[in-house]
Amino acid sequence: MTLPSFPLAPGETRRLRGPGEQRALGAALAAALPPGALLFLEGELGAGKTTLTQGLVGALGFAGAVTSPTYALMNAYPAPAGRVLHVDAYRVRDVAELYEMDLEDLVAGSRLSIVEWGEGLYADYPAAPVLRLEHLEGEPEVRQVTRVR
């Protein structure tokens, strides 16, 4: 999938200073991702995946709280631009579990689908962008985001 207006080129890394910049990048991603897009986010706990997602979902018009789906596995946000699906596959033991939950249909029916910890799905969605978020040593408010693909 060629995304000419995507805010990061494959392999590009950017530093984000604080949650405001993480949400701003999320908003820019929302503007660049076409309807029906799938986005993978990876990174350790607390790296900012949900904060970035807050910017994405907010930019698509959802005004409510956007929280981590770690315990729910999946949150769906009814945004005016279309439903946004936020999946956390961290606790999924086998990728087949996601397919048993009709992930394909859920993704197909969403304006945007964001999957955290979805490394086991990458091969099935080769066109989907993957972003890695990381803490920076000695800089607690700064995150580094890299577009893996």
| Residues 8-47 pLDDT 10s | 999 999 999 999 999 999 999 999 999 999 999 999 988 9
- Flag whether 1 is in a domain: no
- Flag whether 17 is in a domain: yes
CATH of the domain at 131: 3.40.50.300
Average pLDDT across the chain, whole number: 89
Q: What is the pLDDT of residues 124-134, one digit of tens each?
A: 889 999 999 99
Q: How many domains does the chain have?
A: 1
- Flag whether 6 is in a domain: no
- Flag whether 4 is in a domain: no
Domain of residue 87 covers 13-147
Q: Comparing 72 with 125, which gets the higher pLDDT?
A: 125
Residue-wise DSSP of the chain: ---TT-SS-TT-EEEEESHHHHHHHHHHHHHHSPTTEEEEEE-STTSSHHHHHHHHHHHTT--S-----TTTSEEEEEETTEEEEEEE-TT-SSHHHHHHTTHHHHHHTSSEEEEES-GGGGGG-TTS-EEEEEEETTEEEEEEEEE--
Q: What is the pLDDT of residues 89-129, one digit of tens each?
A: 886 666 666 666 666 777 778 899 999 988 888 888 899 99
